[in-house]
Amino acid sequence: MKKVILIFTLLVMTLAFAQDKNKKASIEVDGVCGMCKERIEKAAIRTKGVKSAVWNVDTHELKLIFDERKTDVKTISKSVATVGHDTKEIKATDEQYHSVHACCLYRDEDVKKDHEKGKEDGK
């Protein structure tokens, strides 16, 4: 009987602490254009354990699928910040931010306005 209880306890503990191989999450990442999209997605996908990373230019949402046993959202956010893009959790340093192309300087209000104007002209 003790063996049955021990085995049952181990099984329950294993299931309770199991991590998801296909964890889904989304984070907000600042950016303004297609070049930003490419940079953000590459940085995320190059993070060990990330299986999918898709960033939406309009909503700034980065949808992720990753192996929770190998990485987490904070680590992915750090990877994205190192290529110059702010997330809600981690802000890129000034040096990282200024490494992006001039049209991608999303903190600059004039750049944001130019991209908005371009969207309106394209519609």
| Whole-angstrom distance, CA of residue 89 vs CA of residue 113 | 25
* % of the chain beyond a pLDDT of 70: 81
* Ranges of each domain in the chain: 19-122
Q: Give residue 116's pLDDT.
A: 80
Which three-class secondary structure state does DSSP give residue 1? coil
Q: Is the pLDDT of residue 31 over 60?
A: yes
The confidence score (pLDDT) of residue 20 equals 79
Q: Which runs of consecutive H residues, i.e. helices, occur in the chain? A: 2-16, 34-45, 73-82, 94-97, 109-122
**Angstrom distance (rounded) from CA 107 to CA 103:** 11
pLDDT, tens digit, for every residue of 62-103? 999 999 999 999 999 999 999 999 999 999 999 999 999 999
pTM as predicted: 0.80
Protein fold of 19-122: Alpha-Beta Plaits (3.30.70)
